[in-house]
Amino acid sequence: MKTQHIEPFFATLKAANPQPNTELEYTSVFELLTAVLLSAQATDVGVNKATRRLFPVANTPQQILDLGLDGLERYIKTIGLYHSKAKHLMQTCRILVEQHQGAVPRTREALEALPGVGRKTANVVLNVAFGEPTMAVDTHIFRVGNRTGLAPGKTPLAVEMQLMKRIPAQYLVDAHHWLILHGRYVCQARKPLCWQCGVSDYCSFKPKTPKA
């Protein structure tokens, strides 16, 4: 993607969705952290179904600890990898209670020190909960960054660094959401919907024309 196309690319995405947000359901920073931690290799729809059962019963670190591991697993067993996710969430809740007075920390270092919280999860929390201009590169953003030519890279970190460097400052806070939604619903993995893409004029990808 040419440099001069980046601003109109994001201006078009913003015009179509001025106030984007995550599709994970949450009402507190801890609920967001929990939902993101549970969302690895799972869909937002699947996570929301589980947290709609869990959060009315336990939506603080201490309440999760009070459930116990078996109790927590019963609420999230519909999510893939729920055994390891439950273990990580319990360990995270214990650290939050013992080291952070039950609050979710606001620094990358403290977030990444929590079990099950890697760079991507920390970036989501920093961006969505605290309004930091971070870029959580999931499979959708990785694909969009490479396919459009906006931020080509062989690793999520390489794509993240490219995005942070190339996206104009006024779009950085919301860019994470625009790119995820674009990848989820338009720039899909197997069959990108180029014919209904509002930013195709700025994209480096050239779809194959169907054979006659």
Is residue 120 part of the annotated active site? The answer reads: yes
The C-alpha atoms of residue 134 and residue 102 are separated, in whole angstroms, by 24
Among the listed residues 44, 85, 120, 206, the single catalytic one is 120
Contact 124, 36 (CB under 8 A): yes
Q: How many C-beta atoms surround the C-beta of residue 119 within 10 A?
A: 16
Q: How far apart are CA 126 and CA 123, in angstroms?
A: 5
- Rounded to 5 degrees, φ, ψ at 19 are -130, 75
Our answer to whether residue 44 is catalytic in this structure is: no
Catalytic one among 138, 154, 165, 174?
138
Supply the residues annotated as catalytic: 120, 138
